[in-house]
């Protein structure tokens, strides 16, 4: 039996394997070995290991990866998987012998040896035309090897509560979410109540808060919070707002930093609106770009101001794990109710109540109404000015809701930091919408 996708030196997907294709696959294997080997050589230099005390360097890793590719080729040519199995046994024996020798010198650890096994198998994957997967595995290996100190520091900072919270998050994500029905129940407006999508929001909120916690553990409180706001805004600025407001109550000394992350996530929403309109109907950008860009820029300026006025990096700060199921479920319930109210308003108002519908839709989601307005102005004859103002009203409505969530759920220092920025963003967006 030949290897997957290969039989008798024939690629079942692309036909007979020519010399150029074969050399390309061996080239990928060589690249993988050199990449991992360079990282190991660099580590040895940092550790100032004497020559001869290292298991493998760049040359050895390159040879191991090429050997894996060659073993896969021979296994294919001889139509016997035993060849490749024998190669793995040989590599394993050599690694075991090397480990015994290095362990006798007081160096306990299998990191480099396991990396060598992966390099061999990645070389085989390269021959089997799984080049993307092989290179991805190599890059992941290099990243993990390079982040030794950071990962050890992170592990040292973990507590039993952190581990339990992680397991809870895994349960609601990997166990509960997949079994929920991904469909709606009942006629409109109840067709928006999809258990899977609502629980997905619960997972999203918990995940964003947990991401921020991990980043704080790895890179420090202030930088971790900023990155959470930026990345979280790509998924849900509402979730970031709720998460940061709740965190501000646990750590009021970081209130300005949490406010900065909140407004930074709002700025991402403005960018997302422009991208969605540009994809569906670029002509709508004409009357829309000024108020949306202006509001986004003001949000960025406010976030930068809060960043430099915020708390110093919280390296010594005791930050508790943010995973709490009850608040996340509460948000899921509120989100479902807003969806139901919005759907009901759209049914009763129709096209004539487009502004009202936009305001109500913005309470729950900006993306849906943005795409709707882009489609109506492109294909249904809706005036560009009407569509642009509808999108702006949805943005303002959504910002008001998030501002209200922040003020209601955050600590007093957080509220003092978030309120002026919220007002500035709203005033800039509305002023540019009505004045230009």
- What value does the CA radius of gyration of the chain take, rounded to a whole number of Å? 28
Instruction: Indicate the SS3 state at residue 16.
Output: strand
Q: Which residue has the tokens 């890059």?
A: 139
Tens digit of pLDDT at every position of the chain (436 positions): 444 444 344 444 434 456 788 889 999 999 999 999 888 887 765 555 555 555 667 888 999 999 999 999 999 888 888 888 898 888 888 878 777 776 666 666 677 788 888 999 999 999 998 988 999 999 999 888 887 777 777 777 677 777 777 777 777 778 888 888 888 777 877 876 888 877 876 776 677 667 666 665 666 555 567 777 776 776 678 778 888 888 888 888 888 888 888 999 899 889 888 988 888 889 998 899 999 999 999 999 999 898 887 654 443 334 555 566 666 677 677 667 756 765 676 577 665 677 887 888 788 778 777 877 787 788 767 788 888 898 999 999 999 999 998 898 888 989 999 999 899 999 999 999 888 6
In sequence order, what are the residues at sequence separation of 6 or more whose Cβ sits closer than 8 angstroms to the Cβ of residue 136?
none
pLDDT at 18: 65
For residue 8, give the DSSP letter. S
In sequence order, what are the residues at sequence separation of 6 or more whose Cβ sits closer than 8 angstroms to the Cβ of residue 322?
209, 210, 212, 213, 243, 246, 247, 250
Taking CA atoms, 400 is separated from 241, 257, 262, 404, 406, in Å, by: 12, 20, 13, 6, 10
What's the angle, vertex CA 112, arms to CA 109 and CA 118, rounded to 5?
125
11, containing H or E segment: strand 10-11
pLDDT at 183: 84
**Distance separating alpha carbons of residues 389 and 391, to the nearest angstrom:** 5
pLDDT at 29: 93
pLDDT at 335: 65
pLDDT at 352: 63
**Distance separating alpha carbons of residues 92 and 124, to the nearest angstrom:** 15
pLDDT at 7: 38
pLDDT at 312: 45
| E-strand stretches of 281-400 | none
């Amino acid at each position: 039996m030949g290897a997957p996708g290969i039989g008798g030196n024939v690629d079942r997907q692309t036909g007979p394997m020519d010399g150029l294709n074969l050399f390309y696959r061996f080239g990928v294997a060589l690249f993988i070995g050199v990449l991992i080997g360079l990282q190991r050589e660099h580590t040895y230099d940092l550790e100032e290991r004497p020559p001869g005390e290292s298991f493998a360097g760049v040359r050895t890793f390159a040879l191991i990866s090429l050997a894996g590719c060659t073993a896969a080729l021979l296994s294919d040519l001889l139509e016997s998987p035993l060849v490749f199995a024998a190669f793995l046994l040989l590599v394993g024996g050599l690694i075991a012998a090397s480990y015994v020798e290095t362990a006798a010198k007081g160096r306990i650890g299998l990191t480099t040896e396991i990396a060598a096994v992966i390099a061999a198998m990645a070389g085989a994957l390269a021959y089997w035309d799984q080049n993307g997967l092989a290179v991805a595995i190599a890059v992941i290996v290099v990243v993990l090897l390079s982040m030794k100190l950071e990962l050890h520091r992170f592990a040292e900072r973990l507590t039993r509560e952190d581990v339990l919270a992680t397991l809870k998050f895994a349960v609601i994500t990997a166990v509960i979410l997949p079994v929920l029905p991904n469909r709606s129940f009942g006629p409109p407006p109840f067709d928006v109540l999809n258990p899977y999508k609502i629980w997905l929001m619960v997972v999203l909120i918990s995940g964003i808060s947990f991401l921020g916690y991990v980043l704080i553990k790895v890179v420090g409180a202030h930088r971790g919070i900023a990155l959470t706001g930026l990345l979280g805004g790509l998924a849900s600025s509402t979730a970031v707002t709720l998460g940061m407001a709740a965190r501000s109550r646990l750590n009021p000394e970081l209130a300005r930093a949490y406010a900065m992350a909140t407004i930074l996530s709002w700025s991402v929403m403005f960018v997302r609106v422009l991208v969605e309109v540009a994809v569906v109907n670029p002509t709508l950008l004409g009357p829309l770009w000024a108020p949306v860009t202006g509001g986004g820029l003001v949000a960025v300026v406010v976030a930068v101001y809060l960043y430099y006025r915020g708390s110093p990096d919280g390296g010594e700060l005791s930050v508790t794990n943010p995973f709490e199921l009850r608040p996340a479920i509460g948000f899921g319930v509120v989100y479902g109710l807003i969806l139901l109210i919005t759907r009901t308003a759209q049914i009763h108002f129709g096209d004539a109540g487009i502004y009202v519908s936009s305001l109500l839709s913005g309470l729950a989601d900006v993306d849906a109404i943005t795409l709707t307005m882009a489609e109506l102005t492109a294909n249904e004859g809706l005036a560009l000015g009407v569509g642009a103002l509808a999108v702006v009203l949805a943005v303002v409505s959504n910002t008001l809701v998030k501002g209200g969530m922040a003020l209601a759920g955050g600590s007093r220092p957080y509220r003092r930091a978030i309120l002026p920025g919220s007002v500035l963003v709203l005033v800039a967006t509305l002023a540019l919408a009505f004045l230009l």
